[in-house]
Amino acid sequence: MNIKIEKKEEKIEKEKWIGKKVTQVLSKEKVTGKIKYPSDQYVENLIWGKVLRSKYPHALIKKIDISKALELKGVITVLTYKDIPGLNGFGIAVQDQPVLCHDKVRYLGDAIALVACDSKDLLDKALELIEVEYELLPVVDDPLKAKENIPTKVHENGNIHLHTVINKGDIEKGFREADLIIENEYRTGRQEHAYLETESGFAFYDEEEDMITVFCGGQYPFRDQIQIARVLAVDPRKVRVINEPMGGGFGGKDEITTQIHLALLAYHTKRPVKMEINRDESIIFSWKRHPMILKYKTGVRKDGTLVANEVYIYADTGAYASLGGPIVNLSVEHSCGPYRIPNTHIEGFCIYTNNGVSGAFRGFGVNQVTFAMESQIDEIADKLNMDPVELRRKNILEKGDETGIGSKIETSVGLKKILDEIEKHPLYKNREKIKIDSSDYKKFGVGIALSYQGTGLGVGLPDYGSAWIEMRRDGGFNVYSGSVELGQGAKTTLKLIALESLKLSDEDKVFIITGDTYLTPDCGTTTASGATYRSGRAINIASQKMIEILKKEVSEIYKIPFDEIKVDDGVFKNLNDEKIISYEDLAEILYDKRRLPRTEGHFNFPTSKTKIPGVFGLPHYIFSFSGSIALVQVNTLTGKTDLIKAVNLIDGGRVVNKIGFEGQSEGGIVMGMGYALMEDVLIKNGEFLVKNYSTYLIPTSMDSPYEIETIPIESFEELGPYGSKGIGETTMVPIAPAITNAIFNATGKRVKQIPATPERVFFSLHPQNINMVSDTKMT
Amino acid sequence: MKKIKINFILNDTQIIDEVPVNITLLEYLRDYHKLTGTKEGCSKGECGACTVIINNKTYNSCLILIPEIDGKKVLTIEGLSKDDVTPLQNSLIQEGAFQCGFCASGMVMSLTDLLSKNDSPSIEEIRESISGNLCRCTGYKKIVDAVKKISKS
Amino acid sequence: MKEFEYYRAKNLKEALNYSKTFGKNKRFLAGGTDLIVRLKDNLIKEENIIDIQNIEELKGINEVNDEIHIGALTTFSEIIESDLLKKYSPLIVEASKKVGSPQIRNKGTIGGNICNASPAGDSIPPLFCEDAKLFLESSSDSRIVNIEDFFIGPGKTILKDDEILVKIIIKKWKKGESGFFNKLGQRNALTIAIASSCIKIKKSDGRIDDIKIALGSVSPTVVRAKRVENLLKNLKEFNKDELIKICNEVEKEIDPITDVRGSREYRIEVSKYLVFEALNNSLNLRG
């Protein structure tokens, strides 16, 4: 063990790039507005496309008449289900969502027809001219009712898309052993990704190559490619997908958004086509975080030892499956928190309704259960009169322990260190003092929460990374990875790994190419916080091969034994540290010989040895861990809560890209704060009450705390590139329960439904319809 | 559609054009001039991605009808970045202030306007100046820090 | 965006002529922060848009004896920066700071805010507290109306089809006057009020000589809480229990709706607390 640690430190000392603050790739292009997103494409002969979406949340389609629209001058084409050459369906897990609906619509975002016009102004007029006859069906809008055997079915096979049950130990025995049992129902909101750039895109047909290129924000270009090719019934190689740059993803662009519609229009018109998705349309058709109803019953001994946890998860997945199944399974896997609980019974339901569609979103089902579980833990600490850190310390997972679903943790765990840091932190240490600073009706409170997040896709789902590296004539390297820069900093992180692995000293020697099916290898999907891990490892492997080849060349040219050649700062040296040749000069020689090398790196994401029969996407093998401390101020007169200070403590393994790491953490805190306090796409009877940024509110600069601190807890992950794991998701998960726990700390009342809007907090403080009470204090 | 003559200054260039009255300045900049640095995020004045400076004040270009622009002086991110990056832009790069970058143009315009009127803004003043510019990736903190770094005080 | 005819009025006379010509079938474009959104949403049925932004007669903040005259086209940014208003009518300045965002405040006008007649219009509650007068002009006539009489319902006013709001007239603050504006939103910027309250108090010898309370977003129009005002005026001693009792009366003065921002029940309850908070802040009393 000791030897390992020494080795690790030695490794870290020699590293030039890992953990350094460097200029983020493309940042100059971003601040000058020069970067071109999909919506920024303008070309000659451009036509404009738009989708006719359903008028009703649930209906049969009786007739679609496009004749009047086709007659309108300027309309180039109108497409319906009849114009789909291949499969009329898409979906990552199951292709249950029609590209263009034929006989039934299941939510307001369902697409029925596509129009293309030579002018943007005509689009709405053309859509109005399409006549659709509907026969209305009852709207399924309550997941709990939908789950029962009601006659109205969103899909033929019923309203339950997935039902996962996991038992561990003996739940009844567990509760018998408990001295205290806490039972609660929690509810969570329907969070919208609200990426600043909607799903707009651009496509064109290249006659010479007989190829359709689709340029649209996405998170897995190779899967988009297959989904498009399947619909067009063409060879996937005839479809090129470029996913970046894009204005934010957060999981919301993992599934198909506009890509297939763009491809269909380009396929039929053979002209360059652009689709601009406006915000209202985006909110209606795009995926959301699953709203969940969570029933928790937790048993604990007097001394704080958790003994039993019974969990029921009801997730509203909306009209189509997308990733609802894997998401609910991830909820199930993480439902007991990062704690050792010997006896569990966990059931997860993924339920179809006509409430929009739910899908992947940063955290992937972990946010909801973490809010519930961390609220349970906080309540237990309160009831047992135990310090919240102490209670957690008693129960946290360590390497070798079993998670709530009974899979063994075999990789690094930074939880203990996170708790130590929380305990030491002034915000936590002084929490009682801070409370005294409250005015009579503006109450301060401090809350904490822990979380863990499986990295990668889990057992049963293909998950791999690959990379190509080629040496250029100038001694630099082109590095190709199929991962996508969503804005999370993947390009910079991968560049740093390449610079380090290729032992370079000049930042400009590496050029990263990502997110394009035509240029890069398939590198799996950029989700599950795994881009650094999977692509980083692949780049690392390809780099080692590259260096080996280069050393062989040097060995041959200079007749020096292979083992006596070292590489440092882009220079080959002998054992006496004398320069043999630089990369630049070697590249010239190799270029003359037409021997500039190209290498590949392939890496299968490690998965857990535990298999749970019949369940896919769990368990995970690598986990990131995080903790948050929140200081809130609650105005008890109005219920309005402000996050004043926030601390994130993140074990994502070694930090590769320091600025990117902090950026993800700060953004995660603010997005998590929005989730906790204000964000919810309200849907009633399948109709959207919230349609755009004026009613869907995300935090502004005036809501976000300026005082955000990010503390890296760098556990060294042996398998990760340079000891790193992944952080994209875990940075946003624990802050929401830390905030609601802080509200409890401030007011003595617990909010069991997020977002904790002013109204919800107000009514938790002042029971409904009761006049102001006389103990209201004055300053 | 009825057209109207407009005559205004766009990034130091005089523009004389005849355009339909029912388009916004944002559409005009992007669709007619390919000035795509100015972004559409919501088209309802709620996100600030389309912020431009007109006669030394910031506006959401999605909430301005093109006829309104007659006789005015419009500065977009392209005009601002014509030569090299400004000290503000440089500081934003150094701090790693942006992630996806889609809000960046609008933020830069709002902050440029702030700094033109106040060369030593407080943290509160900086936060206030970008309260009409939504960012979904960052926590706004690094943006504020980047301005603070070049603030005179 | 919907198609329309666009006219640019150079002066008030021209605007009034357009007004007369088009009657109901026109909309004035002042700041446009609301109008353009509605044009995009296809909510405007009128076919003629009359741009009044260049009309000098509708601009400026002027001191006229003991009054301040605010031109209808004055933007919220101009209000916030106005030394005259900061000195003589700080409530309007405070409320203007809460409007939208810097970009919206640079464009949106106080006249537009009034004529939109939204119960959530941020600038309206302070104008109620100031007993503001509105100067309305048509091509043949002019009249002055009390702001309280101007609104009929959400989006509805007594403004005639050929009339235009020219300016807003308020009395300068006198010694002993103070006030408090309180906007409750779901977030701290770029937000529409769930409820708002504005209070203006004139005190002497520890007694309330005069008090005006206006409430926003809790009725079809902004409303005055006159019953509560009277109870407060007659109050001999400000003890906490008495104040709370009076604040509970707010319920009888409002008639809110339920929407995405908040329920009717919440608006009723929270309005009491908003008035309480405002009194608390204005009276500086110990309970």
Among chain C residues, the shortest Cα distance to B56 is held by C106
Interface of C with B in 55-84 (CB under 8 A): 77
User: Does the beta-carbon distance from C269 to A766 stay under 8 Å?
Assistant: yes
C-alpha to C-alpha distance for B144 and B122, rounded to whole angstroms: 10
Using CA atoms, how far residue A749 sits from A22, A740, A743, A752, A767, in Å, is: 45, 10, 7, 10, 11
C2 touches B at CB < 8 Å? yes
Lowest mean pLDDT of A145-159, A313-327, A363-377, C232-246, name the range: C232-246
Supply the Cα-derived Rg of chain C in whole angstroms: 19
| pLDDT at residue A13 greater than cutoff 80 | no
B141 touches A at CB < 8 Å? yes
| pLDDT at residue A101 greater than cutoff 60 | yes
Task: Encode pLDDT of A74-91 as tens digits.
Answer: 999 999 999 999 999 999
Task: Encode pLDDT of C30-58 as tens digits.
Answer: 999 999 999 999 999 999 999 999 999 99
Residues of C in contact with A637 (CB under 8 A): 270, 273-274, 276-277
> For A102, how many CA atoms within 13 A lie in the half-sphere containing its CB?
11
User: Does the beta-carbon distance from B99 to A487 stay under 8 Å?
Assistant: yes
pLDDT of the residue at A619: 87
Distance from the Cα of A228 to chain B's closest Cα (Å) equals: 25
DSSP-derived pairing of the beta strands C5-8 and B57-60: unpaired
Percentage of chain C modeled with pLDDT above 70? 99
User: Does the beta-carbon distance from B63 to C36 stay under 8 Å?
Assistant: yes
The token duo for A79 is: 């497409």
| pLDDT at residue A2 greater than cutoff 70 | no
Instruction: Read off φ and ψ for residue B13, nearest 5 degrees.
Output: -115, 135
Residue C204's CB is within 10 A of a number of other CB atoms, namely 10
- Helix/strand/coil for C164: strand
Chain B: residues touching C (Cβ < 8 Å): 1-2, 4, 21-24, 43-46, 48, 51, 57-60, 62-65, 67-68, 70, 110, 128-129, 131-134
Percentage of chain A modeled with pLDDT above 70? 97
Asked if A289 and A696 count as a contact pair (C-beta separation under 8 A), the reply is no
Residues of C in contact with B45 (CB under 8 A): 33, 36-37, 100-101, 103-104
One-letter identity of residue B124: E
Which residue in the set B63, B64, B67 is minimally distant from C6, CB to CB? B67
C-alpha to C-alpha distance for A698 and B138, rounded to whole angstroms: 12
Task: Encode pLDDT of A126-173 as tens digits.
Answer: 999 999 999 999 999 999 999 997 899 999 999 999 999 999 999 999
Residue C213's CB is within 10 A of a number of other CB atoms, namely 27
DSSP A104-131: EE-STT-EEEEEEESSGGGHHHHHHT-E
User: Does the beta-carbon distance from C269 to A768 stay under 8 Å?
Assistant: yes
Among chain C residues, the shortest Cα distance to A688 is held by C260
C-alpha to C-alpha distance for A395 and A168, rounded to whole angstroms: 17
- Helix/strand/coil for A644: strand
User: Does the beta-carbon distance from B85 to A28 stay under 8 Å?
Assistant: yes
Distance from the Cα of B72 to chain A's closest Cα (Å) equals: 22
Q: Work out the pLDDT band at C4, boundaries 50, 70, 90.
A: very high
DSSP-derived pairing of the beta strands C67-71 and C26-29: unpaired
Distance from the Cα of A166 to chain C's closest Cα (Å) equals: 38
The token duo for A152 is: 């109205």
Asked if C218 and C230 count as a contact pair (C-beta separation under 8 A), the reply is no
- Helix/strand/coil for A39: helix
Using CA atoms, how far residue B28 sits from A246, A278, B33, B105, C102, in Å, is: 22, 17, 7, 17, 23
Instruction: Read off φ and ψ for residue C62, nearest 5 degrees.
Output: -125, 150
Interface of B with A in 54-93 (CB under 8 A): 76-78, 81, 85, 89, 92-93
CA dihedral A578, A583, A588, A592 (to 10 degrees): 100
pLDDT in tens, chain B (153 residues): 689 999 999 999 999 999 999 999 999 999 999 999 999 999 999 999 999 999 999 999 999 999 999 999 999 999 999 989 999 999 999 999 999 999 999 999 999 999 999 999 999 999 999 999 999 999 999 999 999 999 986
Helix (H) or strand (E) holding A642: strand A641-651
Q: What is the mean pLDDT of residues A234-252?
A: 96
C277 touches A at CB < 8 Å? yes
Asked if A22 and A496 count as a contact pair (C-beta separation under 8 A), the reply is yes
ipTM of the complex as predicted: 0.98
C186 touches B at CB < 8 Å? no
pLDDT of the residue at A461: 74
C-alpha to C-alpha distance for C109 and C61, rounded to whole angstroms: 12
Task: Encode pLDDT of A723-754 as tens digits.
Answer: 888 888 999 999 999 999 999 999 999 999 99
Chain A and chain C share a number of CB contacts under 8 A equal to 87
pLDDT of the residue at A315: 98
C160-175 burial, b at 16+ Cβ within 10 Å, e below that, comes to eebbbbbbbbbbbbee
C-alpha to C-alpha distance for A737 and A730, rounded to whole angstroms: 13
Among chain A residues, the shortest Cα distance to B42 is held by A279
Q: Single out the residue of C8, A733, C56 nearest to residue B69, CA to CA.
A: C8
Which residue in the set A695, A763, A772 is minimally distant from C244, CB to CB? A772
Q: Work out the pLDDT band at A12, boundaries 50, 70, 90.
A: low
Asked if A470 and A596 count as a contact pair (C-beta separation under 8 A), the reply is yes
pLDDT of the residue at A175: 98
Q: Which of A24, A26, A31, A41 to mutate to test the interface with B (most CBs of B within 10 A)?
A: A31
Asked if A698 and A679 count as a contact pair (C-beta separation under 8 A), the reply is yes
C-alpha to C-alpha distance for A630 and A685, rounded to whole angstroms: 36
Using CA atoms, how far residue A509 sits from A18, A503, A506, A621, in Å, is: 16, 10, 6, 34
Among chain C residues, the shortest Cα distance to B60 is held by C103
Distance from the Cα of C204 to chain B's closest Cα (Å) equals: 36
pLDDT of the residue at C287: 33
Task: Encode pLDDT of A433-458 as tens digits.
Answer: 998 877 778 999 999 999 999 888 77
Residue A152's CB is within 10 A of a number of other CB atoms, namely 13
The token duo for A654 is: 């070694």
Q: Which of C34, C40, C190 to mutate to test the interface with A (most CBs of A within 10 A)?
A: C190
C-alpha to C-alpha distance for A448 and A756, rounded to whole angstroms: 16
A772 touches C at CB < 8 Å? yes
Residues of B in contact with A26 (CB under 8 A): 101
C262 touches A at CB < 8 Å? yes
pLDDT of the residue at A772: 54
Residue B63's CB is within 10 A of a number of other CB atoms, namely 27
* Residue with the two structure tokens 């101009």: C78
Which residue in the set B38, B104, B140 is minimally distant from A704, CB to CB? B140
Helix (H) or strand (E) holding C111: helix C110-116
C-alpha to C-alpha distance for A349 and A312, rounded to whole angstroms: 8
* Close Cβ partners of C112 (under 8 Å, ≥ 6 residues apart): C30, C31, C32, C33, C34, C35, C72
C-alpha to C-alpha distance for A354 and A373, rounded to whole angstroms: 28
Helix (H) or strand (E) holding C137: strand C133-137
C-alpha to C-alpha distance for C129 and C145, rounded to whole angstroms: 15
Burial of C158 (0-12, 13-18, 19+ CB in 10 A): middle
